Structure 1
């Protein structure tokens, strides 16, 4: 019963098969492999963007940080949510890779509002030598609190950025989960909604470790390549990244795994609604935030359930205290294990 993170799930067997196949013989390195040519063509087709520049890296932190560094001068600031992954979970990597650009937090929750974004950008003086200059906006889709931006919400945020002449980055570590939720085309959730560059996640959705960075305007592609090399994120045996991504995109495996993860989350949420659990968010993709009595957490943990507590510690004499937790479903968790977790929660 592992609900701690979709990072912890297994690699899909089809991806492992592709890696084994890629391991035969020799192939050019550093992204010159023929599989990368096919990956680039397939992603351009999927996103209806024939001129898009496509690059692969091994981690989401590298994808976000190098993409943002390519959009941001050292004297600029990046606008993001207070709970954005680039702010809370990347150890200042965006600031490091951008040679010192800062982050400016837009007040509010996991979803920035157009009004808050506009007022925050406006308050950030531009053209004054003593101030950080305005830089790109970064939007997380799915957010770190499990919410999915609608197309209208995305377009409203990017419209504000455009009013100030700013570029927009999307952190899409769980991009496909959001896409399945909205039921739209990838182009609609990205460049047609005003997104300039996308961190297209794969690791949380059944890959061993690969993310794509997609520039819908290839103008910054060469700078990204230089930053990727300088930042030690250009793999010599690049074919193993290409093989994963090619298998991921083949026969819509990427969509199938995300749909399964979302369905697993819906099953878990539905089961928890019949227990003492209080759902703290409206699960829209594959993440649930819930509060359960301390004694229920103790029962779940004793049975081997793995997930993160948001409040703690677990050990306390008052077993009726409600403690928050985060539950994340991946593509591989079985319905039987979900039902076992729910049964334990019921007591």
Structure 2
């Protein structure tokens, strides 16, 4: 199957470089290019592409406003092509929170397109299937802690104490999902550690975006950083695994170099396996939307250690790969829609 792509990029040079690079891929075809949002909107309507690449920094209608229109009128997998500036990284983090499925950091000379990362992102994005909402549809609010579990949530016995630590893994579509989950966390939540598959350039801006939108404090994990209640720690990305060390007297973040695990560095499996070993039954693990199977084996280890384990359900996932793999292993004690995950987590500790 040929993946049909519309490129929206204001720079003629970058458009030419992108077209030349993607034309080398036998399964990818650039069906049209646009210099601005107005052209892009017409071309998306005309060609109905599988994937859109979007330059977020454009004259006229900016990329964020255009992304909102795409997701509202014709939901399509969008990959953000971002510059190297701090402002570009912050805008990209906002785009990921609004529904873009991935981000690619470009070099100004175009050299960043010489590897296969963008083509691989396009292949992953082409597997995303958005459900177009019915007119007037809105997300249902998370159920109150005292309410019975919804029928599409698997149930398990109540825990008698809140988790000592929460570990979360996510990938494609994960930044948007993290906003939904963490915005419902209390300000005094248990220490929470997250591996989100993302380029390290964007991790600080994603942490800042989450920090501004969510009650707990959100920051980038640092080596040997104490993990404190009311704080959420995001893996810095790319070159180090985030794991947990310590004991019930106090847990710490550990960052270590190494080889990819389950194809990723940092890896959700690496985080979950360390939590299963160091925290055990006192922990909770949450596996959100994402391509592949990273996190499935780690969530199974947490489940076997007695931890509370939750997987996002298929209907609310951007990509059901990672949760599906965990569910197939029997690793998920609860399978829940995205908006119910926080209430399920804290209901079990009520």
For normalisation by structure 2, the TM-score amounts to: 0.32
TM-score, normalised to structure 1, is 0.32
The structure in which a higher percent of residues are helix is: 1
Higher relative contact order (CA closer than 8 Å, sequence separation 6+): 1
Q: In proportion to residue count, which structure has more strand?
A: 2
